[in-house]
Amino acid sequence: MQVFTMLSGILCLMVVLLDAFQTVILPRRAAGRLRLTRIFYILTWIPWRFVAVRIHHPRKRETALSFYGPLSLIFLLVVWACGMIFGFSLIYYALGTPFTDVSRRIGYLTDLYVSGTNFFTLGLGDVTPHALVARVLTICEAGTGFGFLAIVMGYFPVLYGAFSRREVSISLLDARAGSPPTAAELMRRHSFDGAENALASLLSEWERWSAELLESHISYTLLCYFRSQHTNQSWIGALTAILDTSALLIAGVQGHEARQAQLTFAMARHAMVDLAQVFSLKPRQNLPDRLPRERYEQLYQLLCQSGVSVCRDGASYERLRDLRALYEGYAASLSEHLCMPLPPWMTEHPHKDNWLAVAKVRDQAEAANPGPNTIAEVIDRHHEF
């Protein structure tokens, strides 16, 4: 019995330490379906999501879902700490509780109490070890607890730094593609003279953003549960909108920005597929069509009215549909799993945003001041007086 208890304690410690190492320190995707962290998120996210989605008020529902990410991080640390305390207590118990406690009768509760005080380095001194092996284990557990707390202190800044970098680009996309972001709005707002260079630069930035998203969210998967501050924004929605825009540029828009769209599409799809595989999600089949033929015709008319040079041939819709099939199934699986809705291709009822207000004021200014457009014209008019 003592051998079994000793092996159980060692196994418990190994499972917790290995899981913490893979989750916090290892800079790559953790392997294994029976990992403690994976089981923890399966057992906690499913019931949390089940309750949250039944809240009828949209803002309250989103608030409830947003609590899960930070709270899960705290509770995961608690699970790790409890697992290590429990593992050391089993080892102490297998050694015959080698402690002296003058205040009460010794037993397993004494082992559990000593393990807790050692792990958090309290050093109360009311229960003392009287065997050499117990003293060595006390030092080892105190060092483990101290190291665990030090890792936790360095873990939070890394997580929130990656979260902040992710959200900055999502917030910037609001003025460029609306809220929620759509491919139609992004293209429409880049229909001015010289917009090709601006759009290519934007897609280049989102190529890098997709690479950073893939790197950070595979290493720290729990960041996927951290939600954006605004209801209409999410990392899945932003990534899908960029994929939609890139696919539209590749399949049916003229211009040199289509070259950058190919690079952005490849990187963004890589991020979408790999993050879906992290959750063991398969692409959804038989999805409702996000862009049926009639909607594509409306999108085409909107882009033409905005001045976007769209390729018009019989195979453009089929080319776009083939590109969409490469990522929409994975996007839908992630959207359903994380309760983050996908953006449409076109906004049915546009929301008021800062860009519309600024654009309206700018149009009024240009209409009221159709004056000189060059410095030379300004000088000529000045000399007329």
The mean pLDDT value of the chain amounts to 86
**Looking at residue 382, what is its pLDDT?**
37
Residue 193 has pLDDT above 80, yes or no: no
Which among 122, 118, 114 is positioned nearest to 144, based on CA atoms? 118
**Looking at residue 43, what is its pLDDT?**
93
- Integer angstrom CA distances of residue 121 from 102, 137, 138, 146, 260: 21, 13, 10, 7, 55
Q: Are 214 and 271 in contact (CB under 8 A)?
A: yes
Instruction: Specify which residues 127 forms β-bridges with.
Output: 101
- Which amino acid is it at 141? E
Instruction: Specify which residues 16 forms β-bridges with.
Output: none
More confident position, 153 or 360: 153
- Coil, strand, or helix at residue 149? helix
Question: Rounded to an integer, what distance in angstroms lies between the CA atom of residue 194 and that of residue 55?
Answer: 46
More confident position, 287 or 263: 263
Exposed e or buried b per residue across 79-96, where buried means at least 16 C-beta atoms within 10 angstroms of its C-beta: bbbebbbbbbbbbbbbbe
CB-based contacts of 311-320 (< 8 A; 24+ apart in sequence): 311/251, 311/252, 311/253, 311/254, 312/252, 316/251, 316/252, 317/252, 317/293, 319/250, 319/251, 319/252, 320/247, 320/248, 320/251, 320/252, 320/291, 320/296
The mean per-residue pLDDT over the stretch 64-81 comes to: 93
**Looking at residue 376, what is its pLDDT?**
41
Predicted confidence band at 310 (pLDDT cuts at 50, 70, 90)?
confident
Name the pTM for this structure.
0.85
Residues 42-56: tens digit of each pLDDT? 999 999 999 999 999
Interacting residues of 243 by C-beta distance below 8 A, sequence separation 6+? 265, 268, 269, 272, 327, 331
Predicted confidence band at 369 (pLDDT cuts at 50, 70, 90)?
low
**Looking at residue 379, what is its pLDDT?**
37
Percent of the chain with pLDDT over 70: 88
Mean pLDDT lowest among 19-33, 223-237, 250-264, 290-304: 19-33
The mean per-residue pLDDT over the stretch 173-193 comes to: 88
Instruction: Specify which residues 253 forms β-bridges with.
Output: 310
Instruction: Specify which residues 129 forms β-bridges with.
Output: 99
User: Given its phi and psi angles, is residue 38 left (phi above 0), alpha (psi -120 to 50 degrees) or beta?
Assistant: alpha
Predicted confidence band at 374 (pLDDT cuts at 50, 70, 90)?
very low
- Which amino acid is it at 336? E
More confident position, 286 or 236: 236
Residue given tokens 């290519």 in the structure block: 200
Residues 86-139: tens digit of each pLDDT? 999 999 999 988 888 777 778 888 899 999 999 988 877 788 888 899 899 999
Token reading at 164: 């902040």
Predicted confidence band at 190 (pLDDT cuts at 50, 70, 90)?
confident
**Looking at residue 366, what is its pLDDT?**
61
Question: Rounded to an integer, what distance in angstroms lies between the CA atom of residue 296 and that of residue 177?
Answer: 18
Token reading at 324: 């969409």
**Looking at residue 384, what is its pLDDT?**
41
310 — phi, psi (to 5°)?
Answer: -105, 135
**Looking at residue 128, what is its pLDDT?**
85
Provide the sign of the torsion angle of the four alpha carbons 306, 311, 314, 315, taken in this order. Answer: negative
**Looking at residue 385, what is its pLDDT?**
32
Question: Rounded to an integer, what distance in angstroms lies between the CA atom of residue 385 and that of residue 382?
Answer: 6
Task: Kindly report the number of other CB atoms within 10 A of residue 318's CB atom.
Answer: 11
The mean per-residue pLDDT over the stretch 132-149 comes to: 90
